[in-house]
Each structure stands twice: as C-alpha cells, then as structure tokens.
Structure 1
C-alpha cells in the first residue's frame, strides 16, 4: 500500500513536470514566431 502511494505521487510529479516543460516550449515557440513576425530575426 505504501509503495503504491509513492508511485502515485511520483507519477503525478512526472506528469506535472512534463506538462510544464511542454507549456514552456509552446510559449517559447509563440514568442519566436511573434519576434519573427515583428522583423526581429
């Protein structure tokens, strides 16, 4: 039971980390395209 609880917690941490990295990638890509559109390249 205790190992299952820890696996669940680690799973949630990995999921949140993955989503946050993906969100940062999306924001960086959007900023890249906005800067290109503004003539900064």
Structure 2
C-alpha cells in the first residue's frame, strides 16, 4: 500500500515537472518570436 502511494506521488511530481518545463519552453519561444518581430536578431 505504501509503495502504491509513493508511486502516485512520484507520478504527480513527474507530471508537474514535465508541464512546467513545457510551459517554460512555450514562454521562451514566444519571447523569441516577439524579439525577432521587434527586429532584435
């Protein structure tokens, strides 16, 4: 039972980490596009 609880916690941790990395990637890409659109190469 305890192992199943830990697996669930690790699963949520991995999910949150993956989503946060993806969100950072999206923000970085948007900033890159905005900087290129403003003429900053």
TM-score normalised per structure 1: 0.99
Name the Cα RMSD after superposition: 0.1
CA distance in 2, matches of 1:16, 1:3: 20
Q: Report how far residue 25 of structure 1 moved.
A: 0.0
After TM superposition, what 4+ stretches of structure 1 lie above 3 angstroms from structure 2? none
- Aligned twin of 2:27: 27
Q: TM-score, normalised to structure 2's length?
A: 0.99
Offset at 1:31?
0.1
